Amino acid sequence: MEKMPTVSGTTNLVDILDRVLDKGLVIAGDVRISLANVELLTIRIRLLVCSVDKAEQIGLNWWKYDPHLTLPGPSTPALPEAPRPRRAARASRRSRTAKSKRRG
């Protein structure tokens, strides 16, 4: 009879992910590149890994209001522009021609 290996006392990947998403994981750090005491580049890293439920519990909900991540709401169709009366168009053309004749 062959013995099957059993997992006891060890943590598998699913348990680790479950714990990280449930509790949250914060990674913070700074990377600075300098040359002769002159700072050339600074990268500040702030990373939070957690579930959506946990994020809402701690007050993070920016994705609800980000226009790139939310679907647009029902929009009202734009009203068609009212046609311009022909008389007004003719009158404005006449006044422009009259002004140009006076100048000329």
> pLDDT (tens digit, 9 = 90+) per residue, 35-76?
999 999 999 998 888 888 888 888 888 878 888 877 766 655
Residue 99 in any domain: the answer is no
Residue 54 in any domain: the answer is yes
How many domains in the chain? 1
Residue 103 in any domain: the answer is no
Residue 80 in any domain: the answer is no
Residue 75 in any domain: the answer is no
Residue 51 in any domain: the answer is yes
pLDDT at 30: 92
Residue 20 in any domain: the answer is yes
Residue 102 in any domain: the answer is no
The CA distance from 56 to 45, in Å, is 21
Could you give the residue ranges of the DSSP H alpha helices within 1-104? 13-23, 52-57, 86-103
Mean confidence (pLDDT) of the chain: 76
Residue 104 pLDDT greater than 60, yes or no: no
* Residue span of the structural domain in which 52 resides: 11-70
Return the higher-pLDDT residue of 33 and 67. 33
pLDDT at 77: 58
Q: Which position has the token pair 């311009």?
A: 84
The CA distance from 3 to 38, in Å, is 64
